[in-house]
Amino acid sequence: MTDHTEPPAAPVFDRERDGRIAITGGAGFIGANLADRMMREGHDVVILDSYARPGAEQNAHWLAEQHGMKLRIRRGDIRDRMFVHTSLRDASVVFHLAAQPALTTSITQPRLDFETNALGTFNVLEALRQMDDPPPLLFASTSKIYGDLPTLSLSVRRGRYEPDAPALRERGIDESQPLDFVSPYSCSKGAADQYVLDYARLYGLPNTVFRMGCVYGPRQLGNADQGWIAHLLHQGMRREPVTIHGDGQQVRDVLFVDDLADAAIAAWRTPAARGHAFNIGGGPERTLTPNELLAMVDALEGALVTPRFEPWRPGDPRWYASDTAAFRSATGWQPRVGVDEGVRRLHDWLGSSVDDDVAVDREWP
C-alpha cells in the first residue's frame, strides 16, 4: 500500500496555496538539487517521492531544514494515480524526475520498471490533461533510448573510443538519431518519452523532453545501477576495488547537476521549447571514460584504485556525447562547470557528507 503520510521532519503546509513548483522524485539526487535551487530563488516547491532510493529521506529532511515553509513534501508513489492527481493539482510547473533509473533492475524486475517509468509518467500526463489550464511539464528521459549505436564507426585514440566521422567528434549525437530500445529500461523510458511528446501534439500540453546523459554532483550516491562518477569516487575514498563492464575506454559526456538545473529552468521559461525533445549533456567538450576517472581518483586520494573488468552489458555504447545545439539555439543555455571542477566538487562533498555505512555497490553501469 502506498504511504501518503508526511515524514516526521517535514513541516505542515496549507494545501490551498497556489503556484508551487512540483518535482516528482524531488528527494532524489537531481530533484533535491533542483528543489534547493528553486527555493533559494524564492519559489515554493512541493516534492513527490516514495523514498525508494538510498539517501532520499535524508535529502528530504535536509531540504526541510534548509527551507522550512517554502517546502511541501508529499510521500507516495507515482504508480498511484490518485496520489499523483491530488499532489499536482496546484502546480504551476512540473519537473517529472521520478523514475526507476537502473538498467540492471529493469532486467531483474521488468514489471517494476514498466509501472514506474511508463505507467507513472502516464499518470502524470493524465493528471495534467484533466486540468483546465495545464502547467508546463519537463520530463527527464534518457540517452539510453538511442541504444548502443551499433552502426557508429569508432576507433580507439589516446585510450578512448572516438567516432571516425569528424562531425560527430565535434558535435555529438543529435535528436535525429533513430530510437533503438534494447533493454526493459530503454523500453519503459522510451515509451514515456513518446507519450510526453504525443500528449503535447494531440492535447496541446506544454511538454518538453530532456534526453539526458550522465549527470553528477553533490547529493549523489552512486551504485551499480546509476551514478558511476560518484560511485568510483566513493570507492576510491574507501580504498575499495570497482568493477567496470567493458574495457574502461568507453566515453560518456558528463553534466554537472548545477548546469542541468540551469537547463531545466531555461526549458520552463522558454515557450518555444515546448513540444520538443532535446539531447542534454556536457557535449563533446565534457567527456570522460572510467579509466580517466580512476586516474583522477588516484590523484585526489593519493591511492591506486584497482578495477576489475567484466563483459559489456546490453545497450551500453562505446561512445556517446550529446549534441545540445538545438537546445542552446532555443534557449541560449550553456553548461559552465568543467569536468575537473565538477569532479573535485563532488569529491569534496562526498568527503564531508557521505556516511560510511551507506551501502554502495561496486560496478560501473
Please name the residues in contact with 283: beta carbons below 8 A apart, sequence gap of 6 or more: 172, 253, 321, 322, 323, 324, 335
- C-alpha angle 283/288/293, rounded to 5°? 155
Instruction: Name the DSSP letter for residue 117.
Output: I
Query: Who wins on pLDDT, 73 or 221?
Result: 73
Contact 183, 144 (CB under 8 A): yes
φ, ψ at 26 (rounded to 5°): -70, -10
The domains of the chain, with CATH numbers, are 99-364 (3.40.50.720)
Q: Which residue has the higher pLDDT, 293 or 303?
A: 293
Grid coordinates belonging to 50? 516514495
pTM tops 0.75, yes or no: yes
Catalytic residue among 51, 146, 185, 216: 185
200-241 pLDDT, tens digit per residue, is: 999 999 999 999 999 999 999 766 566 889 988 888 888 887
C-alpha cell at 135: 502547467
Would you say residue 47 has pLDDT above 80? Answer: yes
Residue 4 has pLDDT above 70, yes or no: no
Smallest CA-to-CA distance from 353 within 218, 175, 206 is with 218
- The reported pLDDT for the residue numbered 10 is 36
Mean pLDDT value of segment 139-167: 96
CB atoms closer than 10 angstroms to residue 324: 27
> Looking at residues 167-187, what average pLDDT do you find?
96
- The more confidently predicted of residues 13 and 110 is 110
The pLDDT assigned to 121 comes to 98
For the question of residue 146 being annotated catalytic, the response is no
109-134: pLDDT as tens digits:
999 999 999 999 999 999 999 999 99
Within 13 A of 313's CA, how many CA atoms are on the CB side?
A: 21
Q: Do 136 and 274 meet the contact criterion of CB atoms below 8 Å apart?
A: yes
CB atoms within 10 A of CB 15: 12
Report how far residue 261's alpha carbon sits from residue 271's, in angstroms, rounded to the nearest whole number: 17
Q: Give the chain's count of helices (H) and strands (E).
A: 13, 16
Q: How high is the pLDDT of residue 274?
A: 97
Give the chain's radius of gyration (CA, Å): 20
Is residue 17's pLDDT more than 70?
Answer: no
Question: 152 near 319, Cβ under 8 Å?
Answer: yes
